[in-house]
A and B are shown apart, each in its own frame.
Chain A
């Protein structure tokens, strides 16, 4: 398998994310896990619990499976470990996932109740199923000084964890594991930074499974390598072109609306992504509550775009489009550049490495946010619309809301969406929130890029909707 870089911080409270979550899923207990139901996603209890039930909107009762023990002599998995792990998370970098947690009540060695301070509909999907929902061994973590980086203080899962920095990570069968035996005795992950190198390694027979880039997906769709299958995880990535509503060149809403109408998203999907991605109409991804089937206030219409530009009174506009310097984003930017030239806007493309790119709109990282005009952006998340919606509330201006608009109605709907548990009502709430976003004129929705994996036909892989692989749920066919 491919690993795109060394796991740096395995501690769920301080992790960077991504492959660290994959490691946690093999070695640490979780109360819930994702379940795919056709085109939608749900959750189910894991092997670690015999009971996981929501008693009322703020109480979740659980009972841990008997006989599961921590490594290194730290004894059985206890309800007190759940209490320690979850309450500890509130003060960590990933504390936002536990904002709704009040406390965990321990009612027995293996039983307890998670008590929320307010109804929080996404708690199962966003918190319990994802990396932050990992349970740590209280004693082992305290013995390690309260946090850890590249070694788990104790594990309780089907696999042990071993990392040779820069080379590989190996998951081998945990001899102390009493739960179901996974499909493979050993899973070895090679550190391969570039996805193209991993694709070549797969074709050379050195990997059994790897992630694919969009162009290779298209190539494989036409002709798969022998004895290979393609598995697509969720399309939980949403990409758009953003506009800074506070920038003097973009303060005129008519200009922003003209840009919305001028960008030919279908050409981007065909030209930059080889037709392998789904057209986006908002921030909520396919298969989730609140997914939009179409845009409401704009569509590709160059004539309308020219009318809007004329009405705006702006002429000879030159804008800078910042983008990550990878192949797909550069092609996307070049198509946008050509589209906007049609309505008289000159676009200068500024490719950036990931370091400066990911902090260019952050007020805490310098003054670049003041110069931001246009940019292509892609976020990813967990399978609940709350995750995507949270980045655009008023308090996120200058943090992740780089478009820098605020709307009290959006903020109110965000809180309502968290508290509401009726799926239909939640659906309406998130649709309305995306209408508000679109009406700002600050967004051109582009696509939902799938996480796609190629693997041997004799292997069944398991991927979370957000793309993280769960090796313990892999199986031989």
Chain B
């Protein structure tokens, strides 16, 4: 397991290094002087000179890259060109909101999607299976931004049960949770369908295995067979899907953060792209990528822990 962990960690570090290289290269590839590109056409010559000095733009490109990568490794992601605040600080202010949104969205989707998938698998070709199938495909097919708008119209505008915008009062956990309900519902809904379909397919395959037949022959209860044996094996591809899904959820969080006016990493990157605030874009993308790699690494390790055969596959 330690060898597997080392290999996977090494791979993740290599990917992060590659991302840093690409992010650095992108700024170099944009036509024009990098300082002017970063600060925009309104920048004064003094501001451009200050930025060039701060970012070591007079040094050879390879040295600039080493300085940038070295700073990134120590958590220094540069300075916001407008506010002159630390990009790391700006990202830390927002990332919690995105993580909360993603985990709550995926959490409720798992709580509903996995049992639905099991239910459909243990009652194949029945009305339960068919209704579950229709619901699953339906939730996958409806675009999340549409769900967001309908959710706001129904629950915030018409019924006034839930807040439409914002992240809630700072320090008021209950208020923050209330503000999380609609965005998490919108972001997570399609994942209910994905997970239900994936678990159903895996479970159907596992339920046909001989050891399940043996378990039945030994008189084990259906509940024990499903949750004690079948799901443990069938969940493996689902864990991979969930790990990969976090990457998609970081993207999905962007629209939710815009529609629900929530602070977050996705919205920060979006706004920074619009304002051509490149240090924040670079820092945000790097953190999002690292976050994604972290989740994928965790899901891989979880699978390796559940299924020892995987440890030898890398």
Which A residues form the contact surface with B (CB < 8 A)?
A: 5, 8-9, 16, 93, 149-150, 164-168, 190-194, 197-198, 200-201, 203-207, 353-355, 358-359, 362, 364-367
Contacts and interface: CB of A to CB of B under 8 A. Distances in A.
B32 interface: yes
Given A203-B157, A206-B164, 18 more contacts: A9-B83, A93-B42, A149-B83, A165-B93, A166-B97, A192-B165, A194-B258, A194-B259, A197-B259, A200-B156, A200-B164, A200-B165, A201-B156, A201-B164, A204-B156, A353-B274, A362-B41, A366-B31
Interface stretch (B219-227, B260-268, B305-313): B260-268
A149 B263 contact: no
Contact of A167 (B32, B167, B260): B167
Contacts of A355: 273-276
B152 A193 contact: no
B31 A190 contact: no
Interface in B166-215: 166-167, 170
A204 B160 CA distance: 6
A120 B253 CA distance: 51
A475 B90 CA distance: 35
22 contacts: A8-B80, A8-B82, A9-B82, A16-B82, A93-B42, A149-B85, A150-B83, A166-B267, A167-B166, A167-B263, A190-B261, A194-B258, A198-B165, A200-B152, A200-B153, A200-B156, A200-B165, A201-B156, A203-B157, A204-B152, A353-B274, A359-B41
A358 B41 CA distance: 9
A365 B164 contact: no
Interface of B: 31-32, 36, 40-42, 44, 80, 82-85, 90, 93-94, 97, 149, 152-153, 156-157, 160, 163-167, 170, 258-261, 263-264, 267-268, 271, 273-276
B271 A193 contact: yes
The 3 A-B residue pairs with the shortest CB-CB distance in the complex, in nearest-first order: A166-B263, A8-B82, A204-B156
Contacts of B166: 167-168, 190, 206
A365 B157 contact: no
Q: Which one of A16, A150, A167, A193 has the highest number of Cβ atoms from chain B below 10 Å of its Cβ?
A: A167
A364 B94 CA distance: 34
* Majority secondary structure of chain B interface residues (helix, strand, loop or mixed): loop
Given A200-B157, A200-B164, A191 B276 contact: no
Contacts of B263: 165-167, 191
A353 B31 CA distance: 17
Contacts of B90: 165
A401 to B, nearest CB: 14
Q: Which one of A166, A200, A367 has the highest number of Cβ atoms from chain B below 10 Å of its Cβ?
A: A166
Contacts of A353: 273-274
Contact of A8 (B83, B165, B260): B83
A204 B259 CA distance: 14
Nearest to B46: A91
Nearest to B275: A355
Contact of B261 (A193, A358, A364, A367): A193
A441 B164 CA distance: 48
Given A9-B83, A355-B274, A362-B41, A193 B267 contact: yes
Nearest to A353: B274
Nearest to A16: B82
A33 B261 CA distance: 32
Contacts of A201: 156, 164-165, 261
Contacts of B153: 200
B84 to A, nearest CB: 6
A366 B30 CA distance: 10
B157 A197 contact: no
B277 to A, nearest CB: 9
A353 B281 CA distance: 15
B82 to A, nearest CB: 4
B274 A354 contact: yes
Contacts of A358: 41
A206 B163 contact: yes
A426 B255 CA distance: 49
